[in-house]
Amino acid sequence: MIDEGVQMHALAGELFPICRSITGEGVRTTLRRVAREIPIEIHEVPSGTHVHDWIVPDEWNVRDAWIKGPDGRKVVDFTECNLHVVGYSKPISVSMHLSELRHHLYSLPDNPEWVPYRTGYYNNSWGFCLTQRKLDLLEDGVYEVFIDTELSAGSLTYGELVIPGQTSDEFLVSCHVCHPSLANDNLSGIVVAVSLARHLLANSKRFSVRFLFIPGTIGSITWLALHSNVVQRIKHGLVLTCVGDVGDPTYKRSRRSDATIDRVMNYIFQQNGLNERIVDFVPYGYDERQYCSLGFNLPVGVLSRSPHGTFPEYHTNADNMEFITPAALVDSLNMATCAIEMVNDNCTYKNLKPMGEPMLGKVGLYDKHGAGRSGKFLELAMLWVLNLSDGKTDLLTVAERSKIGFPEIVGAALALEEAGIILKDGDSQPSLELELQSTSHTPETP
């Protein structure tokens, strides 16, 4: 698995130099590279499209940007670091005195060696980011400012992959693709999602898994606005962000706080002694803000490591390739994989022989304990499954109540199901293909 961490880190390294924003060639180049790993579809939504209360903005592309000092030498150069130019800066070519230029310069006095990351998507302004150290050295005089950007009608680009399962229910995995050279906040989520998709392509699940590679905020709002027929199929979801730093994992609950994904993550975090790393939903952060907005209230939580804003490197050029590690990426991938496996296995059953205990010996289950389908399962696990299979209680609840491991409970349930003693519930929805054929029908909540 460490090899996989190295692979993920290497892919992040390839994507790192690309100058991304919420629209533009940087996102396309990034998605085209992702498409060489997994079969995503790349979608374009024209500028000016109304999406709920928002409008898809004009497309922004940057070719060059610099500031030349009074001696004619470049003091800030976009080609050295793409964080130097404020995202969505309008084009400009002008000379101005330092006192005036200062209003357009951003630095970090507390971390004088770092370049901050700033954007002004809807401001119609321009600016540069630079180190405090450099700012302090700027001499009085007249500076030449040049920003060669284009802000014009184009489109918003996002990537999507649906891995069909046996039912139309969906698990959503979402990550943002809109930051320039930032490793943890952006690239880590992309590369973990790519690996996760690769695993699921090889081993699809009961439900369908939908991957979204989207620009933050406007991307998720756009997707939600254009997929009202799909939204209700989303029964679970995770936003992956900041999943590459060496900090412990963090899970942020969905707005519902008790959705299956919340309970599954709670279980995984407890098993790993990370109870204190679970935080409640707040309507601030990444695209969970949109998925969990009042009108949607989707069961989507957030997996990260150090939460955004809690590490000083956040939104600076210190969030670089050294800031993320192969081991942390693998650990995050394992957690996300485990969450999807558990949600997949977390069924509800109906005990067909609820009057007293069924005679397990008759179906060869009584003497089988200690060996079985999942390697080992306990007689006690079967008794718990039988006792709680009322058609409403899921296996996760059985595991929690019995204090027997979830895999053992799943193994016991499978054995009982095979023996015809319990029946899986709520799995009778049409497949995704059937669902897609009937355009007007929307699936019922199970």
Positions in the binding site for Zn ion (CB under 5 A): 185
Neighbours of 183 (CB within 10 A): 26
Whole-angstrom CA distances from 386 to 316, 354, 416, 419 are 55, 8, 8, 12
CB of 302 to Zn ion, least distance (A): 13
Minimum CB distance to Zn ion smaller for 119 or for 208: 119
Instruction: Transcribe 153-213 into DSSP letters.
Output: S-EEEEEEEEE--SSS-EEEEEEE---SS-IIIIIIHHHHHHHHHHHHHHS--SSEEEEEE
CB of 308 to Zn ion, least distance (A): 6
CB of 87 to Zn ion, least distance (A): 11
Q: Return d(Cα 76, Cα 88) in angstroms, integer.
A: 17
Minimum CB distance to Zn ion smaller for 222 or for 316: 316
Minimum CB distance to Zn ion smaller for 185 or for 287: 185
87 near 60, Cβ under 8 Å? yes
CB of 242 to Zn ion, least distance (A): 8
Minimum CB distance to Zn ion smaller for 116 or for 249: 116
Six-digit token string for 141: 């005089």
CB of 114 to Zn ion, least distance (A): 15
Summarize the chain as % helix, strand, coil (round to 5): 35, 25, 40
- Residue partners of 371: CB distance under 8 A and separation at least 6: none
Q: Return d(Cα 175, Cα 240) in angstroms, integer.
A: 5
Give the residue from 178, 215, 212 showing the smallest Cα distance to 194: 212
Instruction: Transcribe 357-406 into DSSP letters.
Output: ---GGGGT-TT-TT-BTTB---HHHHHHHHHH-EEEEEHHHHHHHHT--H
Minimum CB distance to Zn ion smaller for 117 or for 126: 117
290 near 296, Cβ under 8 Å? yes
180 near 220, Cβ under 8 Å? no
Minimum CB distance to Zn ion smaller for 39 or for 309: 309
CB of 126 to Zn ion, least distance (A): 20
Minimum CB distance to Zn ion smaller for 189 or for 411: 189
Minimum CB distance to Zn ion smaller for 185 or for 408: 185
CB of 182 to Zn ion, least distance (A): 7
Minimum CB distance to Zn ion smaller for 101 or for 129: 129
Residue given tokens 């680009």 in the structure block: 157
Give one word for 431, left, alpha or beta, with left for phi > 0 and alpha for psi -120 to 50. Answer: beta
Q: Return d(Cα 224, Cα 308) in angstroms, integer.
A: 24
CB of 286 to Zn ion, least distance (A): 8
CB of 219 to Zn ion, least distance (A): 13
Which residue's Cβ lies closest to Zn ion?
A: 185
Q: Return d(Cα 13, Cα 181) in angstroms, integer.
A: 10
CB of 125 to Zn ion, least distance (A): 19
303 near 243, Cβ under 8 Å? yes
- Residue 251 pairs in a beta bridge with 278, 303
77 near 90, Cβ under 8 Å? no
Minimum CB distance to Zn ion smaller for 59 or for 185: 185
Give a three-class secondary structure readout of 295-312: CCCCCEEEEECCCCCCCC
Minimum CB distance to Zn ion smaller for 186 or for 254: 186
CB of 292 to Zn ion, least distance (A): 18
